[in-house]
Chains A and B, each alone.
Chain A
Amino acid sequence: MMVSRSAKPVVLYLTRELYVTFFLLIGVSLVVFAVLYSAPGDPLAAVFGGQVLSDAQREEMMRNLGISNTWYGQYWSWLVKLFNGDFGTSLRSGQPVLGEVTKLAKNTFYLTFGAMFFSLMIALPIAIYLAKRGTDRLGWVLMMFAYTTSAVPLFWSAYIVIYIYTRFFNTLPIGLATGESMNFTQMMLPVFMLGLGSGIISETVRFLRDEISRVFSEDYVRTARAKGVSVWKHALTEALIIPVSEMIASKIPFVIGGAIIVEQIFNWPGIGRMAWQAAQDRDYPVIMCITLVTALIVRLTSLLQKTLYVIVNPRASQETKTS
């Protein structure tokens, strides 16, 4: 039932969250800057002006660009560059980094959120089963399955799956790298693999199981039962919507991490594989850009989750402390 609720606290709350996100992103940039600044071999200079060979060249370049020698001066120049969308040029391809990264980020986005969906499709029924029936024999088997998916190294199980696939279909489930279009199974295989193997299933199962059984023993769910109306309808928001969205927001970094491996194995053209390549080449601008972009994705997911939380929870905007 739609309700006329004063929109003001909600807007205030979200505005605040927006500020928080902004300051967190500043913090994120500081961390990345600190790593680049303190590393040997001058990665920062590479970001500012491409491959630099000697100290003298570096001095010269920094002077030409009008960048001071202090760390905060350099940080400021760097930040201004970022805000102008200038993340430097790739040492490898010579192309502007941001364009390349955003082009591939889309593919990684599909992969990670698709995988997240698969993970939840597996974890959710198990969690509900465990919450409702306890750890009986089947429950125990399901729990063990969840543990095992989180313990098996993805970089082995992915190969095994490819091996089985080639045995059955006599072709490799990899096509995009060679420019061929992939069929649906070929697309789904990496997504499914990442969903199964990113290691988040067992924790998701445990968290959701505990939340569901907690909510089902809440007074208001007992009231719903006493009224003879649908219990799930009453428990849905707190037992599923809120914890599932929390889980998505807090586990997305793990799935992105797993995406590096899956992209590498399946030749999925995303920023995970790009990061791996860049780390090998010491292509600082690229790896820096990818770190910032993934952190941005994480923060935005979290912001989205907070928004959903205020929308479904009428008390949220009253709560003074958050995050």
Chain B
Amino acid sequence: MNNSPLLKIEELRTYFYSRTKQAFIRSVDGVDLEVNKGDTLGIVGESGSGKSVSMLSIMGLIAARPGIITGQVWYQQEQARINLLAGLQDHVQVSKNDGRIMSVEKTDLAWQRRLEKNMLGIRGKEIAMIFQNPKSAMNPFFTIGHQIVENITRHTQYKSRKEAKERALYWLERVKIDSPQLRFYNYPYGLSGGMCQRAMIATALSSEAKLLIADEPTTGLDATIQARIADLLEELRAQTGVTIVLISHDMGVIGRLSNKIAVMYGGRVMESGPAQAVIDHADGKSHPYTEALLKSIPREDNMSSQGHLNSIDGEVLDTINVPRGCRFASRCQRINKSIEKMCLNEEPPLATVSDGHKIRCWHFAGV
């Protein structure tokens, strides 16, 4: 096998056009990421920072009409390396002004057709995805069993109904659902949230995809169940060797499961690198935003003197009015006289500070 990453995202931008404001919402605004085989990449950031949209973009799941996606998403298949966004640029005419989209003409239908064509054999087969709110993400009109079997017959060699059912039961067991024989015939409404999420994980893994994107898989579940789902994901990763992209706004979950971490803010990656470097500051360097996120994990040593939990001051960036300088500048605690001018007027590059560790901050831009 070659060494190229399983998934390489370059300059991904996803904009939504807001008719009422006649302006673009820049949910994802130039994201670069790499996921290697066997890794678990954690993407973290406050909600609204563009984590979900960036992953939905690479799966082609953005509602077609107002969504504009540009950039490259390279996916490494057995033999070839393919661009999941290939050919889409033929159907949009984007006029840019220093890297930012100013106006767009889009042939919706052809664009959508091309997207579906690119995704053929990718969705489900190569990349599987699980979502937040498992109860609404599972089809309420089909049994759990049916939803797994459907995936198995579609994407694996188990084509016959009997084989597929056996396989589905096997997966239900793998995700530790009690009495799988019974659950197989249950509808999602009869299951608890945690149980549903397990069923969804079973569905996603049952197609034997190489990459699993988990979008806030534990959010909205009870705290004890969250921990169990996290453990389950870790266990399944160790057993099956599936590569995982884990999205969460919860630093705790991310820190627990991932070996690589990317921190997103305002549609941009602010920091990325190995977990030790990002969370434990192994190289002694960190982004002020990451630091603030880490300080807001509910832990005893993160309590302020009044006994409150620390939180990040200020509002999450409004991605219509993106500032000229650093996106985090308005909330940054570490901004100081010597670099203030830079912070407010020019966006810092994503600079490499140590092996594989990159930070987008003027404090480190000179390194």
Chain B residues numbered 114-130 whose CB sits less than 8 Å from any CB in chain A = 119-125, 128-129
Given contacts A133-B108, A234-B139, contact A229 B124 (CB under 8 A): yes
Give A281-298 as 1s and 0s: 1 = Cβ < 8 Å from B's Cβ atoms: 000000000000000000
Interface window among A50-58, A176-184, A219-227: A219-227
Give B214-247 as 1s and 0s: 1 = Cβ < 8 Å from A's Cβ atoms: 0000000000000000000000000000000000
Interface window among B8-16, B92-100, B140-148: B140-148
Please, which residues of chain A bring their CB within 8 A of the CB of B133? Answer: 219
Chain A residues numbered 225-261 whose CB sits less than 8 Å from any CB in chain B = 225-229, 234, 237-238
Q: Are B59 and A226 in contact (CB under 8 A)?
A: yes
B109 lies within 8 A of chain A by Cβ? yes
Q: Are A315 and B119 in contact (CB under 8 A)?
A: no
Q: Are A228 and B119 in contact (CB under 8 A)?
A: yes
A15 lies within 8 A of chain B by Cβ? no
B4 lies within 8 A of chain A by Cβ? no
A59 lies within 8 A of chain B by Cβ? no
A312 lies within 8 A of chain B by Cβ? yes
Please, which residues of chain B bring their CB within 8 A of the CB of A315? Answer: 140, 187, 189
Given contacts A1-B143, A133-B108, contact A226 B185 (CB under 8 A): no
* Total number of residue pairs linking A and B with CB closer than 8 Å: 83
Closest to A237 in B: B141
**Shortest CB distance B33–A (Å):** 19
A217 lies within 8 A of chain B by Cβ? yes
Give B142-159 as 1s and 0s: 1 = Cβ < 8 Å from A's Cβ atoms: 110110011100110000
Q: Are B185 and A4 in contact (CB under 8 A)?
A: yes
B136 lies within 8 A of chain A by Cβ? yes
Q: Are B136 and A219 in contact (CB under 8 A)?
A: yes
Closest to B133 in A: A219
A227–B119 alpha-carbon span in the complex (Å): 11
Q: Are A226 and B129 in contact (CB under 8 A)?
A: yes
Of the candidates A219, A220, A226, the one whose C-beta lies within 8 Å of that of B128 is A226
Given contacts A1-B146, A133-B108, contact A225 B61 (CB under 8 A): yes
Given contacts A1-B146, A133-B108, A226-B61, contact A312 B141 (CB under 8 A): yes
Given contacts A227-B207, A228-B124, contact A1 B142 (CB under 8 A): yes
A161–B154 alpha-carbon span in the complex (Å): 51
Q: Are A224 and B155 in contact (CB under 8 A)?
A: no
Please, which residues of chain B bring their CB within 8 A of the CB of A3? Answer: 143, 146, 185
**Shortest CB distance B349–A (Å):** 33
Q: Are A222 and B108 in contact (CB under 8 A)?
A: no
Q: Are A229 and B109 in contact (CB under 8 A)?
A: no
Closest to B139 in A: A220
Given contacts A228-B154, A315-B187, contact A223 B63 (CB under 8 A): no
**Shortest CB distance A301–B (Å):** 23
A293–B149 alpha-carbon span in the complex (Å): 48
A314–B145 alpha-carbon span in the complex (Å): 14
Chain A residues numbered 128-182 whose CB sits less than 8 Å from any CB in chain B = 133-134
**Shortest CB distance B162–A (Å):** 13
Please, which residues of chain A bring their CB within 8 A of the CB of B125? Answer: 228
Please, which residues of chain B bring their CB within 8 A of the CB of A38? Answer: none
Q: Are A226 and B124 in contact (CB under 8 A)?
A: yes
Q: Are B143 and A222 in contact (CB under 8 A)?
A: no
Identify the interface centre among A223, A238, A315: most chain B CB within 10 Å of its CB: A223
A68 lies within 8 A of chain B by Cβ? no
Please, which residues of chain A bring their CB within 8 A of the CB of B151? Answer: 227, 229
Please, which residues of chain B bring their CB within 8 A of the CB of A95? Answer: none
Given contacts A227-B207, A229-B151, contact A220 B123 (CB under 8 A): no
Q: Are A220 and B155 in contact (CB under 8 A)?
A: no
Please, which residues of chain A bring their CB within 8 A of the CB of B146? Answer: 1, 3
Q: Are A238 and B136 in contact (CB under 8 A)?
A: no
Chain A residues numbered 261-310 whose CB sits less than 8 Å from any CB in chain B = none
Please, which residues of chain A bring their CB within 8 A of the CB of B141? Answer: 234, 237-238, 312-314
A236–B92 alpha-carbon span in the complex (Å): 31
B328 lies within 8 A of chain A by Cβ? no
Closest to A318 in B: B189
A133–B207 alpha-carbon span in the complex (Å): 31
Please, which residues of chain A bring their CB within 8 A of the CB of B137? Answer: 219-220, 222-223
Please name the 8 residue pairs, one residue from A and one from B, whose CB atoms are nearest each other, closest first: A228-B124, A228-B123, A226-B129, A219-B136, A227-B124, A220-B139, A219-B137, A237-B141
Q: List 17 A-B contacts (CB under 8 A).
A: A1-B145, A1-B146, A1-B149, A5-B185, A133-B109, A219-B133, A219-B137, A223-B137, A226-B59, A226-B61, A227-B124, A227-B150, A227-B203, A229-B151, A314-B141, A315-B189, A318-B189
User: Given contacts A5-B185, A220-B137, A315-B189, could you give 14 more A-B pairs where the C-beta distance is less than 8 Å?
Assistant: A3-B146, A133-B108, A217-B63, A219-B131, A220-B138, A222-B137, A223-B139, A225-B123, A226-B129, A227-B124, A229-B124, A234-B139, A314-B140, A315-B140
B interface with A by C-beta (< 8 Å)? 59, 61, 63, 65, 108-109, 119-125, 128-129, 131, 133, 136-143, 145-146, 149-151, 154-155, 185, 187, 189, 200, 203-204, 207
